[in-house]
Amino acid sequence: MLTFIISVVIISLTVGIYIIHQNKRTRKNIKKINKAKEYGLYEPVHIHPYVDPATCIGSGACVKACPEKDILGLVNGRASLIHASRCIGHGACADACPVGAIKLVFGTETRGVDIPHVTPDFETNIKGIFIVGELGGMGLIKNAVTQGREVIEYISCLFHSAERKNSDIYDVIIVGAGPAGLSASLAAVKHKLSFITVEQNDIGGTVFQYPRHKIVMTSPMELPMYGKIKVRETTKEALLELWMEVIRNAGLQIRTGEKMLDVKKEDEGFKVFTAKGEHLTKSIVLAIGRRGTPRKLGVPGETLPKVSYRLLEPEQHQNQNIVVVGGGDSAIEAAIALAGQPQNNVVLSYRGEAFSRIKPVNKQRLDDRVAKKAITIMFTSNIKEIGGKYIKISTHEDIVEMPNDYVYIFAGGELPNEFLNKIGVQIEKRFGT
């Protein structure tokens, strides 16, 4: 009898401790979710995990497996999304779930995501036009690199060597020099295709605009003409340096600053119109990303690594001087998030005389941060120059130079969907599928 009582007491204590721990973790994660909603980081922007609450057993394996921070957390004994907008679709959570309660989806039940329709060989509804990488919903660098290699392997099978040598048009034009575009370019060299690669901005694509110090890769990736890249964590700067080394070793010629403007169907393929001329090609690989073309300020220093066009992790910034450029909700939400980190000095620069058409809740939060001197607003101001440790901002009175560690620019941009619609590529809206 005594043994039974002791066993009951031990079990009760164990269960009690577990429940207390679970409730504490739930409160902590709910607080994070509310903060993510406040900062606009809760809604997913592309492929992300969906957790079936009826199947989830709350093992926490998915949370431990995710290489990113606070994408998933346990709430009331079930896995829940926290900072969903940071997820880039590693898929490690789905692989780790012991009961298969997680699948990767696009969009949510209430918020659709536009995804181009492609075949398993990455071909769109227009025969000869292919889409790879982030534009097709694959935000993970490794997946983009794999797709870039695989699409060229498929295209190379379409053309015989004799046809390639005798043809006066390119086998393929690759648009974009991010991970997918670079991988496709290297594969084109390997398979001896005639091709050119055009990039409207700088080499690196989305990676160049990446706002994070740390970039996580869940597993080694294979680059054509180079081999395996085995690093699991790197930085934006280190990854860009690696791209440049690969490009030099392979002798790649990337046509930077050449924006693709239009495509017309021809008898033998396509005529591609760019900002610098016209090109005939049998096929096209679009590796242009899905966040669109950020509008640049066109000022000296804007190509420095410390300049970004999207904020993912405000927590990475502490005790820093940061300038946020823009007057819309995205800029204001970023400034608020950055001002919420310890010891940051945040300046919000806007060319207009006042903010207009911003969410009332953002206006209220901004006024609160300004009153607490966490944010300084500079109206009717423009960035003149960005230096390694400083920034110059012009006002009506003068040009002000101030210390600066990072710059976030939210000046709008051109969405890729508009271009895809223009050339006739079919787009599907996904609601959690």
DSSP conformation letters of 373-427: TSEEEE-S-EEEEE-SSEEEEE-SS-EEEEE-SEEEE---EE-HHHHHHHHT--E
Please indicate, yes or no, whether residues 72 and 149 belong to a single structural domain of this protein. no
pLDDT in tens, 334-371: 899 899 999 999 999 999 888 877 777 888 889 999 99
Predicted local distance difference test score (pLDDT) of residue 233: 66
Predicted local distance difference test score (pLDDT) of residue 162: 45
Does residue 127 lie within any of the structural domains? yes
Please indicate, yes or no, whether residues 97 and 134 belong to a single structural domain of this protein. no
Does residue 15 lie within any of the structural domains? no
Residue among 322, 304, 286 at smallest CA distance from 406: 322
HEC sequence for 334-388: HHHHHHCCCCCEEEEECCCCCCCCCCHHHHHHHHHHHHCCCEEEECCCEEEEECC
253 versus 320: the higher-pLDDT residue is: 320
The phi, psi pair for 144, rounded to 5°, reads -65, -45
290 versus 341: the higher-pLDDT residue is: 341
Please indicate, yes or no, whether residues 85 and 167 belong to a single structural domain of this protein. no
Give me the CATH number covering residue 336: 3.50.50.60
Please indicate, yes or no, whether residues 269 and 359 belong to a single structural domain of this protein. no
Structure tokens at 366: 């901004």
Could you tell me the residue range of the domain that residue 389 belongs to? 307-412
Give the dihedral of Cα atoms 271, 272, 277, 279; nearest 10 deg: -60
Please indicate, yes or no, whether residues 374 and 269 belong to a single structural domain of this protein. no
Does residue 66 lie within any of the structural domains? yes
> Which of 75, 105, 135 is a domain's end point?
105
Residue among 82, 77, 65, 327 at smallest CA distance from 218: 65
Predicted local distance difference test score (pLDDT) of residue 7: 67
First-residue to last-residue Cα distance in the chain: 56
Does residue 405 lie within any of the structural domains? yes
Predicted local distance difference test score (pLDDT) of residue 39: 67
Give Cα 416 distance to the centre of its chain.
14
> Which of 54, 87, 105 is a domain's end point?
105
Predicted local distance difference test score (pLDDT) of residue 168: 77
Does residue 368 lie within any of the structural domains? yes
342 versus 58: the higher-pLDDT residue is: 342
Ramachandran class of 152: left when φ > 0, alpha when ψ lies in -120 to 50, beta otherwise: alpha
Does residue 70 lie within any of the structural domains? yes
pLDDT in tens, 159-172: 754 455 556 789 99
Please indicate, yes or no, whether residues 203 and 352 belong to a single structural domain of this protein. no
List C-alpha distances in Å: 397 to 297, 328, 354, 400.
Answer: 21, 24, 17, 9
Helix (H) or strand (E) holding 51: strand 48-51
Q: Are 55 and 99 in contact (CB under 8 A)?
A: yes
96 versus 382: the higher-pLDDT residue is: 382
230 versus 352: the higher-pLDDT residue is: 352
Distance of alpha carbon 34 from alpha carbon 45, whole angstroms: 18
Please indicate, yes or no, whether residues 368 and 425 belong to a single structural domain of this protein. no
Give me the CATH number covering residue 94: 3.30.70.20
Please indicate, yes or no, whether residues 422 and 385 belong to a single structural domain of this protein. no
Q: Mean pLDDT over residues 179-208, rounded? A: 84
Domain count across the chain: 3
> Which of 105, 128, 161 is a domain's end point?
105
Does residue 126 lie within any of the structural domains? yes
Does residue 319 lie within any of the structural domains? yes
Does the pTM surpass 0.85? The reply is no
Please indicate, yes or no, whether residues 120 and 89 belong to a single structural domain of this protein. no
Mean pLDDT for all residues in the chain: 82
Please indicate, yes or no, whether residues 145 and 271 belong to a single structural domain of this protein. yes
Please indicate, yes or no, whether residues 377 and 335 belong to a single structural domain of this protein. yes
Please indicate, yes or no, whether residues 134 and 270 belong to a single structural domain of this protein. yes
